Structure 1
Amino acid sequence: MTADRREDALDWGDPDDPSWVDPGRDDRVDADEPAPGDEGADARDGAAAPIATAASPADRRRSAVTAATGLLAGVYLAYSVGWILSIGSLPLTGATLLIEVMYQFGEFLAIIACALWFGAVMALTRGGRPAVRIGWLALGTLVLAPWPLLLAVLS
């Protein structure tokens, strides 16, 4: 430690230390080409340039599961919008106030069912296999489809 402690606070170590990282040099994607102003650096220090490695199969699988989960989340969001549109197109006037209130409560549950299903599947399959999670989410796409809207479009 030097007499000036402020200088020590700004010192991050020895650049010759193998654990030292230079973001301008070590994070290059194309390691075969030298960085600008770095010609012959590998020949000087005798170290080979870092080589970009491909993603491992586990990383690719994790990315695929994340993409599938995101896609199904988008489908569930579209389903909620579909339920909102289909509920607006099917008015009901009940004979009694109780029938009308219960019908509106059912409409509310139909709108939030997609979000509830998605949240429940994500919470209950947190530590499990990804295939089980995707399976339950896929099953929900069949069960929770906005059938009144789909039948109105098809007919």
Structure 2
Amino acid sequence: MTAEQVKSAAFKAGYRLSSETAGLDWALQLKNAMSGPGPHFGEALKGIAGQEFTKGGESISVSYLAMPQGYLAWSVHYSAGPAVVSFSDAVNEMTKRYGKSSFTKPAGHWAQWCSAGARSPQDCLKQSFMSVNESPNGVSMHTENARLRDEQKRLLQEHGGKKPSF
């Protein structure tokens, strides 16, 4: 999803934008990838690195990658207090949507769903995944699309005409 699509969906669900972090636009991402490692100071940040949304006791944090077509969400973190959602309700909902979890912590306070082919929780982190965690503060859910990061690297290489430095 693009940053505008995320914002629209969040507003429609009753969330408010509590903060937005500036980030690299595609042109600056491409320039920095091709210029080598190290900090790049003095560049005007024209992109969106992240957005934070809140509603009652819930919060959503979205991280974006600069792509040629705009800023695409690659990481989403949701958290809510125990009065909002329980761990078992969150796991049941994810099981209805995605089937049995790929990995579960024996104590039962963590579950992870992976894209096909993951052999371990660590292998799962290199692909697309979703996890549900329980802590004394409540429940958090996190999803990440590592394949989108890989696609960004491939596009940076393709558009830059040489191998990116990262």
- Is the shorter-chain TM-score for this pair beyond 0.5, marking a shared fold? no
Structure with more of its chain in helix, by fraction: 1
- Flag the structure with higher strand content: 2
In our comparison, the structure showing a higher alpha carbon Rg is 1
- TM (norm. structure 1) is 0.21
